[in-house]
Chain A
Amino acid sequence: MPRAALPAPTYPLVHHTLDNGLHVLLAPDRSSPVVGVGVYYDVGIRSEPEGRTGFAHLFEHLMFQGSANLEKLAHFRYVQSSGGTFNGSTHLDYTNYFEVLPSNALSRGLFLEADRMRSPRITGENLANQIAVVKEEIRVNVLNRPYGGFPWLLLPPVLFDTFPNAHNGYGDFVDLESATVDDAVDFFRRYYAPSNAVLSVSGDFDEDEALALVQGHFGDIAAREIPPRPDFSESDLDAERRKSAEDPLAPLPAVAAGWRVPDPVGGFDDYLPYVVLAEVLADGDASRLEQRLVQKDRTVTQLAAYLGLMGDPFDVRNPTALVLQAHHAPTATADTVLDAASEEFDRLATAGLAGGELERVRARILAQLFREVDPVLGRTLALAAFEQIHGRAELLTELPARLAAVTAEQVQEAAATLRPDRRAVLELAAGGAK
């Protein structure tokens, strides 16, 4: 597809900062009578203190347990009885809370978010209840299933040295059980200030009316000092690192490898070739590694390559990684898989991309981007993440052009950096093989 034909998602964007420092981002679109509301707090897994692994996520649960004017359970009921849905999620660098609602509930959605930004109800009873709920969440998502936490919880301790980057973000049970109400109150005071948040609202509203509503609901929340954002960067690996783990439930072995990549924010244009490279390597049956490992060698059952330990190429800060993961046949070893992958990286690094390869991969990335932002909620969240992590929501609309500027040579150079001596490898043994 010729470059000029690439369409781009365009939305009018309105920025506003309240006196208390809350950054507001409005993207009106009146095509469907729905609105998305998202609040992004600039604190995530990397900021939780030692001895309190899993605390950022536990705290996310506490934000749903009632607030200044709302009893426990009221938040859920007000959203759902308005015909909407809600959720929250905890990431490495941020924690978000969001609703999607019929547009006649916009004021209500803003009220609900403002009320917990003002003052969540943190009690010993709610804390004990949510510690129990989070432990069941970890059991259902990690401990009671094969490949739970592979590789997002297992690879970071191989890839990184410092506590913020390496620790288990879901949390150890001992740490979770040690959490106190005082910890939670301190965490809220420190990180949940208006000036540490982005409020993103998209969908069916008039921007002046929406701004007045935002001012009305959030304007009187007191400003607080926020801590400077820490620099979590670490130096690159100077030799290969390996760890192995046994998954007692897994029927087939698996391997994951990670390579550090350029700063996804400060080095955005150096980072983008890696985003393209991941797709060249593993998106679909025509990708390099599918052809080699699945179709030709037949050593691998399923594989993926992506940017970011949580699959979050554009909403993570430095340091992060390109991750390759593969479930492989018991007859193959991790080295069989990694050696073949290395040969393919070398082939890319020396011979470059084939004719048309860059164009077709780019077309697919673009289509995926459109699919993500078609739902009003996807748009609300993507704009908020670009605003908070990159400081510019506009980057979302510029992304097609920025991707189009990535050259075959840059992808080739990126492939050349995926050397064995720069990788962190996690081998997962199949303890559940019969």
Chain B
Amino acid sequence: MRQVSRSNTKAFEELYTRYARRMQGFFIRMLGYDIAKAEDFTQELFLKVYESRGAYEEGRTFSSWAFSMAYNLCKNEYRHRDVVEIHEQELNYNSDVTEEPAFEKVYDRAVFENQLSISLSKLPADQLAAFTLRYSEELSVQEIARVLDCPEGTVKSRLHYALRSLSQSLSMYNPVKP
């Protein structure tokens, strides 16, 4: 990042190669599996990284800095377009279909994965962010607290609520391991 702040294009390319996929994966989950939008947001995020390369605090990991910017982009998106509401409406429609699955399908792993992604999308944005950063990106609670700009206790309670609501919504699905 020090090299990037000196307008080194090669260093920036290296940074992009390392982190673009991670960031895109985060956006895919946070924006309700909208791939095109996730691609746009990844591009926008790295544009912002390049523009604000001078404001980077040394000593802080790049991933936590980039994730905090990514989370802010998502929050803006929720605020401006009410993505959550629209997505919830779509999910309600989908959940009607999978509410009472056939007996043999209950044990299908694919159905479980589908239901899990639906349940994840139903989580509030702050809980989903905490869940993704903790269990998918494997960041520490301290780092997540920095990314989400909240105390560590809040992160823990968000994780707790997210896990509880996921276990409740997926209690009737029992996948068979492949």
A binds B: no
